[in-house]
Structure 1
Amino acid sequence: MNSGAPVSALRAGVLALQGDFREHLAALADCGVQGSIVRRAQELEGLDGLIIPGGESTAMDRLLRAFDLHRPVREFISSGRAVYGSCAGMILLADQLVEPARDARGEPQQTLGGLDMTVRRNAFGRQRDSFEAELDFRQISDPERPIHAVFIRAPWVERVGPGVEVLATVRIEGIDRPVAVRSSTVLATSFHPEVRGTAGEPDELRVHELFVRMMQGRGE
């Protein structure tokens, strides 16, 4: 954590192996933060925070290992610096998965871990089942201005440990499914705040602004 540092002095990396890392870089720039891509372990050096973007979590898992990034990113997560994962990033930050994907040899998908939770991949359905919703998001939304959330092949959280706070839920068939969680310096959402909704709403920066405050050591 870069406690008390001005926003312009913060440096955040975005894992750029696959997925919508460019959109996260644009959101960071809109927040006034220096953003950079991370494809090698040395590019983690000097960062105040790291974003793991949406995309295909199984592809990211393979590439993390192919680029020898799995252990360095795990170490970054455990270092106490701010980390945010959206959609596939939420899957990778989970300690456990329900029915993990398996490769051609039958080996289960690996995660990076960092959040004591169990996540179900593609829980809301496939690409055609993508949807948008207005969310009550603890810490950053209010009744007059809920968070506009875009869900694309989104996961949900089935279990959280005692140290994980649920920040937002979506009600599905009478059950409130967690779609945003946080534990200390690690934040994850099922949805994509970096993606503009189909109705052309203004860019939703409040999740990234919370991440910025976490980098500063003052996230609520």
Structure 2
Amino acid sequence: MKIGILAVQGAFLEHRKKLEALGAQCVEIRQKGDLQEAFDGLVLPGGESTVQGKLLRELDIFEGLKERIIRGIPVLATCAGLILLAEACVNDPHVYFGTLPVTVKRNAYGRQLGSFHTIQEMKGIGTVPMTFIRAPYVEKADPAVEILARAEGKIVAVRYGRQYGLAFHPELDTDNRIHELFLKECRK
């Protein structure tokens, strides 16, 4: 199984290490030519959503990735990746892929000093560690969106079709169950 990881900025290497440890082959997507590779799933990592959105267009990979997402490729989007998928953001006028019918709030927990770690229940998995770094949260979700987890009363994990949007960074914790769930989706 091969997973494409957006690797223009952010925490892509941590996802790659975790997925490879679970037996997946990974391809880093850095330029348009990388879209020639066939892959079974897509990771949109944490980082800076504004920078990632700008680079997606400058490197001419935006449309190719959006097309795959619309066609139903499984997606694991963490932190900034969640913002890239969201159809709206309350404190940012930019809409990127817009394929996930949620409204998010960027930097919802404050700046870097507002980062925190917690353990919360995630539907279908059980309690999981959650690391939040300048994280967003989902302020509003369409009824078709499945809410998977909350932290401090806020929606922090959702699923819509084959798209998983997480406000936190599972790649930074030792628990592998979220990446295992994603790989299981990719095998379907």
TM-score, structure 1 normalization? 0.83
Aligned to 1:103: none
Structure 2 CA distance, aligned partners of 1:49 and 1:114?
Answer: 15
160, 178, 182: which is aligned to 1:207? 178
C-alpha displacement at 1:128, in angstroms? 0.6
Structure 2 CA distance, aligned partners of 1:210 and 1:149?
Answer: 16
Q: Does 1:24 align with 2:15?
A: yes
C-alpha displacement at 1:79, in angstroms? 1.2
Q: Does 1:155 align with 2:146?
A: no
Aligned to 1:75: 67
Aligned to 1:180: 157
C-alpha displacement at 1:12, in angstroms? 0.2
In structure 1, the gaps of 5 or more residues are: 1-9, 101-107, 197-202
Superposed CA deviations along residues 165-202 of structure 1, whole A, max 9, x for unmatched, are 0000012xxxx210000011100100001113xxxxxx
Is the Cα contact below 8 Å between 2:109 and 2:136 reproduced in 1?
Answer: yes
In structure 2, the gaps of 5 or more residues are: none
Aligned-residue CA RMSD (Å) = 1.0
Structure 2 CA distance, aligned partners of 1:156 and 1:19?
Answer: 18
Structure 2 CA distance, aligned partners of 1:189 and 1:208?
Answer: 12
Q: Does 1:109 align with 2:86?
A: no
**SS class of match (1:136):** strand
C-alpha displacement at 1:32, in angstroms? 0.8
Structure 2 CA distance, aligned partners of 1:21 and 1:64?
Answer: 15
Structure 2 CA distance, aligned partners of 1:154 and 1:26?
Answer: 22
* 1:115-194 to 2 correspondences below 5 Å: 115-141=100-126, 146-171=127-152, 176-194=153-171
C-alpha displacement at 1:162, in angstroms? 1.8
Number of aligned residue pairs: 187
**SS class of match (2:172):** coil
Q: Larger C-alpha radius of gyration, 1 or 2? A: 1
**SS class of match (2:28):** strand
Aligned to 1:51: 43
Is the Cα contact below 8 Å between 2:86 and 2:95 reproduced in 1?
Answer: no
C-alpha displacement at 1:67, in angstroms? 0.3
| Code of the aligned partner of 1:195 | L
| Code of the aligned partner of 1:124 | Y
Q: Does 1:34 align with 2:25?
A: yes
Q: Does 1:88 align with 2:93?
A: no
Structure 1 CA distance, aligned partners of 2:175 and 2:27?
Answer: 20
Superposed CA deviations along residues 64-83 of structure 1, whole A, max 9, x for unmatched, are 11001111111011111101
C-alpha displacement at 1:109, in angstroms? 2.5
